[in-house]
A and B are shown apart, each in its own frame.
Chain A
């Protein structure tokens, strides 16, 4: 009886451990994807706007406006 309870507790602890690791990997990858964000179709507008600023000469390379 005692051994069975121990097995169940060990199994539960192991399952919680595995679930925590999976959750943590997922959480960290999500956070990293938010910080290092890969552009997609939704970003077309801001992408084009920035490129237009370069094309029209509004922005010039390495020119730092006063902050």
Chain B
């Protein structure tokens, strides 16, 4: 009987400690989130940071799966690439922009990446960078994987000498990998099936 009461006492102590710990985590998490939310307009790229890319998020607001995926995960993409400058166009500016570039209507949400340190191979300076046309993906899983691939790609190649070349090589490899999956009979859907 004494053993049972001792065990019950220890269990209660452990439970109360765990509850205290949980409350502490909740409080700290909440404080951090609040701190993050209080300064939405402030630039996260401080003077010590050295941005390689300028990232533009263009979203006219189609009620799409891709939009939901982007909204749910953009903070994480931002956190992984916090050295870069990110600009959000908002609905009105996005609509105004795509009215002038109508071939991109329906491709949004678009994440456009401008390479600030591109090497120029020709005398005439072309534009350098790439765009992720997330709105072309109709399935949540495909959109999420594209966003993850985008985030990983930016992080891994921020010091690449020739970004355009790296993007093209990567796409080539991805296309081959997808075909090999089909030949191998892999059942899961590939990014291009979205």
Which A residues contact B (CB, under 8 angstroms)? 21, 24-29, 31-41, 43-47, 49-51, 53-54, 58-67
Contacts and interface: CB of A to CB of B under 8 A. Distances in A.
A66 to B, nearest CB: 8
Interface string B177-194: 011001100000011100
A36 B43 contact: no
Given A28-B175, A40-B126, A67-B61, A35 B191 contact: yes
A32 B45 contact: no
Interface residues of B, number: 56
Contacts of A67: 59, 61, 90-91
B179 A35 contact: no
Given A64-B88, A67-B90, A47 B130 contact: no
A61 B97 contact: no
Interface stretch (B6-14, B16-24, B25-33, B165-173): B165-173
B47 interface: no
A32 B168 CA distance: 10
Nearest to A63: B41
A25 B179 contact: yes
A54 B84 CA distance: 14
A63 B126 contact: no
Contacts of A47: 114, 127, 129
Interface in B129-182: 129-134, 136-137, 146, 149-150, 164, 167-168, 170-172, 174-176, 178-179, 182
